[in-house]
């Protein structure tokens, strides 16, 4: 017989008066209510805190409001909320989405049926500012396709994460016992990508294909769905160099916790190999015609296929 898990929600807010009430109401409508809701407000100057304080008086579960005296930014703000959570499972929550009533119940079920799962993330319906459907799912928008979903289902999420990010924090929950591995989060990383990377290296991720939130796009999203052309004009050094710096931070943290996660040694070596590839392509010359020899070396050695998207990435690096 499974022991019931305790569930915490870590909600980060900043000037969220327009949408926060709808998000809070959607949490109250959950078929499985949380043991606590921890809200960290990043020095809002609108009515966000007043809306939250009013909610605390009628919420059917404990709510804690933490207030930052100075703006920390989204990732640091989430870190404050995560540190304060006491539950076995921590659900990450954005201020501007709407959760469907069965979100917490279905995710909890996945954790309870498989003790090896450390992170659960789901699909979502992409909607506009008024919650009107935009005709696509989140996994479509981030191009998290069936072959990659199959890799995650087979227990090899890390292979996907070495090439690209596909886990959105607004759909994510993780086991709090990994918190000391995850925190603090380096400034160069976004919180959800960092959590997925480290957890993918040390444990098992589970992807639920059911959309469990309305993922609101309103023009002021911190990240939102990927936009075409966002890398236009960027050099190989800018794109791959930044990723190399991020992977260096992940590698440092994984080595620091190597004794606690001895089975992660294989993934640490894979991360080292990927980092060597990123450094090589980051060093490709700015002049296009001079990039060909170096890029060809990486292609012939199949490193573009192992650590990027094969010919597609090779072509992109030649044409940048």
Average pLDDT score over residue span 128-156: 95
| pLDDT of 112 strictly over 70 | yes
Spatial separation of the C-alpha atoms in residues 164 and 226, rounded to whole Å: 12
pLDDT range class, residue 15, cuts 50, 70, 90: very high
What confidence score (pLDDT) does residue 11 get?
98
> C-alpha angle with apex 36: 51 to 114, nearest 5 degrees?
135
Q: Which fold has domain 7-216?
A: Spore Coat Polysaccharide Biosynthesis Protein SpsA; Chain A (3.90.550)
Cα–Cα nearest to 203, from 242, 257, 138? 257
Position 233 confidence tier, pLDDT thresholds 50, 70, 90: confident
What pLDDT is recorded for position 238? 94
User: Can you tell me the mean pLDDT for 69-90?
Assistant: 97
pLDDT higher than 90, residue 231: no
Q: Given a cut of 50, is residue 306 above it in pLDDT? A: yes
Q: What is the pLDDT of residue 255?
A: 97
Q: pLDDT by residue (tens digit) across 234-248? A: 899 999 999 999 999
Task: Delimit the domains of the chain by residue range.
Answer: 7-216, 236-319
Provide the pLDDT confidence category of residue 225 given band limits of 50, 70 and 90: low
| Helices 191-202 & 74-84 angle (0-180, nearest 10) | 60
Answer with the residue of higher pLDDT: 16 or 223: 16
What radius of gyration, in Å, describes the C-alpha atoms of the chain? 20
Q: Determine contact, residues 155/206, Cβ cutoff 8 Å.
A: no
Residue 187 CB: number of other CB atoms within 10 A?
9
User: Three-state secondary structure along 147-201?
Assistant: HHHHHHHCCCHHHHHCCCCCCCHHHCEEEHHHHHHHCCCCCCCCHHHHHHHHHHH
pLDDT at 1: 45
- Residue 289 is predicted with a pLDDT of 87
Q: How far apart are CA 2 and CA 64, in angstroms?
A: 28
Structure tokens at 174: 């993780």
Phi and psi torsions of 233, nearest 5°:
85, -5
Span 265-291, pLDDT tens digits:
999 999 999 999 999 999 999 998 899
Calculate mean pLDDT across residues 216-233. 65
Mean confidence (pLDDT) of the chain: 94
- Decide if pLDDT at 221 tops 70: no
What φ, ψ does residue 120 adopt, rounded to 5°? -120, 130
Question: Lowest-confidence range among 10-14, 198-202, 217-221, 301-305?
Answer: 217-221
Length of the chain, please? 320
pLDDT mean over 139-150: 96
In this predicted structure, the answer to whether residue 223 has a pLDDT above a threshold of 60 is no
> Looking at residue 230, what is its pLDDT?
59
Residue 318: burial class (beta carbons within 10 Å; 0-12, 13-18, 19+): middle
**Averaged pLDDT for residues 60-74:** 97
Using alpha carbons, list the distances in angstroms from residue 3 to 6, 10, 35, 88, 119: 9, 22, 15, 11, 18
Q: What is the 3-state secondary structure (H, E, C) of the chain?
A: CCCCCCEEEEEEECCCCCCHHHHHHHHHCCCCCCCEEEEEECCCCCCHHHHHHHHHCCCCCCEEEEECCCCCCHHHHHHHHHHHCCCCEEEEEECCCEECCCHHHHHHHHHHHCCCEEEEEEEEEEECCCCCEEEEEHHHHCCCCHHHHHHHHCCCHHHHHCCCCCCCHHHCEEEHHHHHHHCCCCCCCCHHHHHHHHHHHHCEEEEEEEEEEEEECCCCCCCCCCCCCCCCCCCHHHHHHHHHHHHHHHHHHHHHCCCCCHHHHHHHHHHHHHHHHHHHHHCCCCCHHHHHHHHHHHHHCCHHHHHCCCHHHHHHHHHC
């Amino acid at each position: 017989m499974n022991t019931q898990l305790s569930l915490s929600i870590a909600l980060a807010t900043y000037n969220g008066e327009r949408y926060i009430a709808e998000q809070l109401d959607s949490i109250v409508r959950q078929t499985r209510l949380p043991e606590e809701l921890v809200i960290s407000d990043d020095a809002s100057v609108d009515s966000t805190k007043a809306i939250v304080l009013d909610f605390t008086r009628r919420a059917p579960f404990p709510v804690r409001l933490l207030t930052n005296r100075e703006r920390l930014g989204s990732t640091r703000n989430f870190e404050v909320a995560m540190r304060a959570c006491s539950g076995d499972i921590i659900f990450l929550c954005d201020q501007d989405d709407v959760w469907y009533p069965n979100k917490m119940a279905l995710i909890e079920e996945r954790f309870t049926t498989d003790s090896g799962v450390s992170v659960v993330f789901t699909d979502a319906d992409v909607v506009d500012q008024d919650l009107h459907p935009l005709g696509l799912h989140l996994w479509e928008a981030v191009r998290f396709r069936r072959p990659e979903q199959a890799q995650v289902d087979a227990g090899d999420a890390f292979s996907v994460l070495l090439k690209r990010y596909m886990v959105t924090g607004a759909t994510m929950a993780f086991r709090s016992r990994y918190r000391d591995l995850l925190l603090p989060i380096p400034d160069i990383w976004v919180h959800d990508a960092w959590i997925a990377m480290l957890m993918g290296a040390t444990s098992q991720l589970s992807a639920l294909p059911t959309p469990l939130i309305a993922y609101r796009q309103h023009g002021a999203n911190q990240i939102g769905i990927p936009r075409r052309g966002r890398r236009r004009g960027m050099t190989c050094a800018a794109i791959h160099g930044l990723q190399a710096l991020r992977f260096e931070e992940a590698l440092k943290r994984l080595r620091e916790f190597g004794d606690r996660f001895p089975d992660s040694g294989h993934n640490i070596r894979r991360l080292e190999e990927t980092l060597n590839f990123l450094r090589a392509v980051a060093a490709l010359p700015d002049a296009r015609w001079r990039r060909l020899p170096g890029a060809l070396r990486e292609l012939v050695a199949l490193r573009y296929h192992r650590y990027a998207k094969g010919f597609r990435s090779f072509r992109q690096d030649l044409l940048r």
